[in-house]
């Protein structure tokens, strides 16, 4: 059977649940750290798991180019390759291929593009994307779609969404069912509620194991992200997981969970960890700032992470100024722990029926 | 009392011992990982300790410039600042200041120089070097010396050595005795056995808690390094630790232990870890090489380190090619483990009386 999803508590539109995959059970709502190139940057797999993460995201586009999906398969699959025993969701490559402006051409068949690494030619179709994700061994496969740029004319958004729906059907057909593995469809439709509804209904008719809301968090603003989430969720099945792609800041996560989203991914905690930014319950800190140079306090005195247990802001500031790798290691550890704990607290609030009072972090 | 040193076994000129410091007991012979800027690069302190290391080296020159010795002292000392509960040896800054060609002037008083970071002016004297090392809280302080360049005229080497001996006396006077803390003198004299002997006898007359052999491994070649070690060791006290500075490759360590050296430091295992080099008992591997791309084997099947337990050469090759931080993290972990285990095996051989048959790694 496919991946399982059990809802164990509801609070308004929000749900607390359990996602059951071939590589373990994941409590939802959940944030997925990004493991682009078969590594969550600056982290060991043990370190990622210690933050509480049990589900990470891998990028089909990056992995197909380097080291190559067939190579990963020959080496035992992505879990073994990167020594991550827990669950993996892979994106379809669609979003990243679309970003290769000037290097790609789109047709009904799929997308032809040149590698950003060496200029070599590649083609990504729904069938090839699903095939790659199978070679990688993803627990959760994403349908191949076109992420419509924002802003776009309504007619272009509609045509793009319709193409994504035809690709979704081909993706679903190409997916080979295996125990504990599933495929998610992706709702498109830009900032148009009626197109979002139409897309959601089309996907439901095809039938997926979970449903993602795609094409958001690309410049339309939080209010519109929330509005499109509200325009989509009512048309998705109650008993299947919902994933808001590419989101987001802590306050975005809180707002989206309140609107019924179960899953998230974003580069923010990891990328910020490599650019001296730390998320805390009292706001964001820039460790490059000289005001931290003599501060013996940790990032957050109440945080359970090893960075907060052992190191001062003064030390982290020093590491940042000196360009030391340990700065990225410690700040990424802290940020992923912060994100995992934020999700865990929302889950507790849902189970206690108090999510409405749950305040978005500054 | 000063740092303790107990010799528990001898085998030829070699000794197995225990170095007793304010921050723990260190089994010798020992290799010290380099923690230049208050971090062993690409490693957490826990990760360093897990390799077996209990004594690391900090750099006075780097730390006095950034973050500053007074700042580290105000934050509780270097151990607390970098969250390293075990022992620390600091160099005197002499070697690195001497490397600032064109940026420094030497006088009887000391060395005036400009920071390589911001061009600011600084002066390092024996008194200031020892004062900085006290502010940092080093378990083992090194006397301030001039590292004579190689090659140099004999007259220049002799004058430089005599200056270092006057600085050694001033360093010893400036050192404030504290329980579990000690100061080491540094033998100079270039590649001249008679100057080495004279330097060693001068230091013994001053009286130090340990003795380093300095000014080697700077281009003179292994045979000369060994010859100068042999020319120095007989003139050092039997009951005090001996430290060969800046050494070295695995085969250098084996040769020097056989000649009576107890302590070593070198950037090789850490720097190599950041440039895709791995040390193994079967030789050195360059993980950038394409021949590793499909190799499912670990770096060394018999290695106990987490990099070998969890990851293939193919994966490490991929990380190196992709420029991922995890490559440096895993390769540094492996290399420091390899060095720690090499020292532990030599210690076992000394205790078993079989060091003569101990073969230098390829």
B345-356 tens-digit pLDDT: 999 999 999 999
Asked if B39 and A326 come within 8 Å (Cβ–Cβ), the reply is: yes
* Residue A91 is a catalytic residue: yes
- The Cα B269–Cα A65 span in angstroms is 31
Domain end point (choices B265, B296, B322): B265
Q: Which residue of A has its CA nearest to B35?
A: A324
* Statement to judge: residues A247 and A273 lie in one domain: no
Evaluate whether residue A362 is within a structural domain.
no
Contact (CB, 8 A) for B325 and B38: no
Nearest-neighbour CA in chain A from B138: distance (Å):
18
The residue annotated as part of the active site, out of A209, A262, A265, A300, is: A265
- The Cα A285–Cα B345 span in angstroms is 46
Evaluate whether residue A259 is within a structural domain.
yes
Q: Which residue of B has its CA nearest to A308?
A: B83
pLDDT for the residue A155? 97
Asked if A315 and B82 come within 8 Å (Cβ–Cβ), the reply is: yes
B69 closest CA partner among B83, B57, B58, B85: B58
Chain B hits for A330, Cβ within 8 Å: 44
* Statement to judge: residues A205 and A66 lie in one domain: yes
Token representation of residue A349: 């609030």
Of the partner residues B82, B296, B322, the one whose CB lies closest to the CB of residue A75: B296
Contact (CB, 8 A) for B302 and B326: no
Cβ atoms within 10 A of the Cβ of A171, count?
Answer: 29
* Statement to judge: residues B274 and B192 lie in one domain: no
Q: Which residue of B has its CA nearest to A35?
A: B324
Evaluate whether residue A358 is within a structural domain.
no
- The Cα A169–Cα B124 span in angstroms is 73
How far from each other are the two terminal CA atoms of chain A, in whole angstroms? 42
- Which residues face A112 on adjacent strands? A105, A123
CATH number at residue B37: 3.20.20.105
**Would you mind telling me the total number of residues written for chain A in this entry?**
362
Evaluate whether residue B290 is within a structural domain.
yes
pLDDT for the residue B102? 79
ipTM: 0.98
Asked if A81 and B315 come within 8 Å (Cβ–Cβ), the reply is: yes
Across chain B, which has 362 residues, the per-10-residue mean pLDDT values are 95 98 98 98 98 98 98 98 98 90 90 94 97 98 94 96 98 97 98 98 98 96 98 98 98 98 98 98 97 98 97 98 98 98 98 96 87
Class of residue B219 by CB neighbours under 10 A (exposed 0-12, middle 13-18, buried 19+): exposed
When scoring A33, A35, A39 by the number of chain B Cβ atoms within 10 A, the one with the most, hence best to mutate, is A39
Q: Which residue of B has its CA nearest to A330?
A: B44
* Statement to judge: residues A27 and A154 lie in one domain: yes
Evaluate whether residue A361 is within a structural domain.
no
**Chain centroid to CA A224: how far?**
19
Of the partner residues B37, B310, B325, the one whose CB lies closest to the CB of residue A41: B325
Asked if A329 and B326 come within 8 Å (Cβ–Cβ), the reply is: no
Residues A137, A142, A143, A147: is their CA dihedral positive or negative? negative
When scoring B310, B316, B323 by the number of chain A Cβ atoms within 10 A, the one with the most, hence best to mutate, is B310
Chain B hits for A318, Cβ within 8 Å: 37-38, 66-67, 81
Asked if A43 and B326 come within 8 Å (Cβ–Cβ), the reply is: yes
B216 closest CA partner among B205, B206, B227: B227
**Chain centroid to CA B121: how far?**
27
Pairing of strands B210-213, B182-187: parallel
* Residue-by-residue DSSP string for A252-298: HHHHHHHTT--EEE-SHHHHHHTTTEEEETTEEEETTSGGGTT--S-
Domain end point (choices B237, B265, B293): B265
Structural domain of residue A44, as residue ranges? 4-266
Whole-angstrom Cα Rg for chain A: 20
Q: Which residue of B has its CA nearest to A85?
A: B310
Nearest-neighbour CA in chain B from A30: distance (Å):
24
| Residues of chain A with a CB closer than 8 angstroms to some CB in chain B | 37-39, 41-46, 66-67, 71, 74-76, 81-83, 293-294, 296, 306, 310-312, 314-315, 317-319, 321-322, 324-326, 328-330
Of the partner residues B39, B326, B330, the one whose CB lies closest to the CB of residue A319: B39
* Statement to judge: residues A244 and A327 lie in one domain: no
Chain A hits for B315, Cβ within 8 Å: 38, 75, 81-83
pLDDT digits (tens, 9 = 90+) for A148-158: 889 999 999 99
Q: Which residue has the tokens 């690409």?
A: B42
DSSP conformation class of B322? T
Asked if B42 and A311 come within 8 Å (Cβ–Cβ), the reply is: no
pLDDT for the residue A226? 98
* Residue-by-residue DSSP string for A2-15: --EEEEEEEETTEE
Of the partner residues B38, B43, B329, the one whose CB lies closest to the CB of residue A318: B38
pLDDT for the residue B36? 96
Domain end point (choices B241, B265, B289): B265
**Chain centroid to CA B303: how far?**
23
When scoring A318, A320, A324, A328 by the number of chain B Cβ atoms within 10 A, the one with the most, hence best to mutate, is A318
* Statement to judge: residues A76 and A223 lie in one domain: yes
Contact (CB, 8 A) for A72 and B357: no
* SS3 labels along B183-204: EEEEECCCCCHHHHHHHHHHHH
Q: Which residue of A has its CA nearest to B295?
A: A75
Nearest-neighbour CA in chain B from A97: distance (Å):
18
- The Cα B106–Cα B97 span in angstroms is 10
* Statement to judge: residues B52 and B9 lie in one domain: yes
- The Cα A187–Cα A164 span in angstroms is 9
Contact (CB, 8 A) for A318 and A330: no
Chain B hits for A63, Cβ within 8 Å: none
* Statement to judge: residues A340 and A225 lie in one domain: no
CA distances from A153 to A159, A160, A190 (A): 10, 11, 10
Evaluate whether residue A180 is within a structural domain.
yes
* Statement to judge: residues B254 and B272 lie in one domain: no
Nearest-neighbour CA in chain A from B291: distance (Å):
13
Nearest-neighbour CA in chain A from B208: distance (Å):
33
Evaluate whether residue A316 is within a structural domain.
yes
When scoring A63, A83, A333 by the number of chain B Cβ atoms within 10 A, the one with the most, hence best to mutate, is A83
* Number of domains, chain A: 2
* Statement to judge: residues A126 and A218 lie in one domain: yes
Token representation of residue A23: 């590589």
pLDDT for the residue A98? 87
Give the helix/strand (H/E) hosting B160: helix B154-174
Across chain A, which has 362 residues, the per-10-residue mean pLDDT values are 95 98 98 98 98 98 98 98 98 90 90 94 97 98 94 96 98 97 98 98 98 96 98 98 98 98 98 98 97 98 97 98 98 98 98 96 87
CA distances from A349 to A10, A264, A338 (A): 10, 18, 16
- The Cα A184–Cα A176 span in angstroms is 13
- The Cα A340–Cα A338 span in angstroms is 6
Evaluate whether residue A359 is within a structural domain.
no
Asked if B318 and A42 come within 8 Å (Cβ–Cβ), the reply is: no
A189 closest CA partner among A217, A219, A228, A220: A228
Asked if B75 and A296 come within 8 Å (Cβ–Cβ), the reply is: yes
* 3-state SS assignment for residue A186: strand
Nearest-neighbour CA in chain B from A81: distance (Å):
6
* Statement to judge: residues A251 and A286 lie in one domain: no
Q: What are phi and psi of B140, to 5 degrees?
A: -120, 115
Pairing of strands B111-114, A140-142: unpaired
B12 closest CA partner among B350, B241, B261: B350
* Residue A265 is a catalytic residue: yes
Counting Cα atoms < 13 Å in the Cβ hemisphere of B302 gives 7
* Statement to judge: residues A275 and A149 lie in one domain: no
């Amino acid at each position: 059977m496919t991946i399982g999803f059990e809802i164990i508590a509801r609070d308004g539109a929000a749900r607390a649940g359990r996602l059951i995959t071939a590589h373990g059970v994941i409590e939802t709502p959940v944030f997925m750290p990004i493991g682009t190139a078969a590594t969550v940057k600056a982290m060991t797999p043990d370190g990622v798991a210690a933050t509480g993460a049990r589900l990470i995201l891998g990028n089909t586009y990056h992995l197909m180019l380097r080291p190559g999906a067939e190579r990963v398969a020959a080496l035992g699959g992505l879990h073994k390759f990167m020594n991550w025993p827990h669950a993996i969701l892979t994106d379809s490559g669609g979003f990243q291929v679309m970003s290769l402006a000037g290097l790609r051409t789109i047709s009904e068949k799929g997308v032809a593009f040149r590698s950003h690494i060496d200029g070599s030619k590649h083609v990504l179709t729904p069938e090839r994307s699903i095939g790659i994700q199978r070679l990688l061994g993803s627990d959760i496969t994403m349908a191949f779609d076109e992420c419509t740029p924002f802003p776009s004319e309504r007619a272009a958004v509609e045509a793009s969404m319709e193409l994504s729906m035809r690709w979704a059907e081909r993706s679903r057909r190409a997916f080979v069912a295996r125990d504990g593995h599933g495929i998610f469809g992706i709702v498109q439709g830009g900032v148009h509620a009626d197109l979002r509804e139409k897309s959601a209904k089309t996907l439901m008719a095809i039938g997926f194991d979970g449903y993602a809301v795609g094409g958001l968090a690309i410049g339309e603003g939080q209010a519109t992200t929330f509005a499109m989430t509200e325009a989509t969720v009512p048309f998705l099945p109650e008993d299947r997981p919902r994933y808001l792609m590419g989101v987001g800041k802590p306050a975005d996560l809180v707002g989206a969970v309140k609107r019924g989203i179960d899953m998230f991914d974003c580069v923010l905690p990891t990328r910020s960890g490599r650019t001296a930014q730390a998320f805390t319950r009292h706001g964001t800190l820039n460790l490059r700032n000289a005001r931290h140079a003599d501060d013996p306090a940790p990032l957050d005195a109440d945080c359970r992470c090893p960075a907060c247990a052992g190191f001062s802001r003064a030390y982290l500031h020093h590491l940042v100024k000196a360009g030391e790798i340990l700065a990225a290691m410690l700040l990424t550890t802290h940020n992923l722990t912060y994100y995992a704990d934020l999700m865990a607290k929302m889950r507790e609030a849902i189970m206690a029926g108090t999510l409405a009072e749950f305040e978005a972090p500054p």
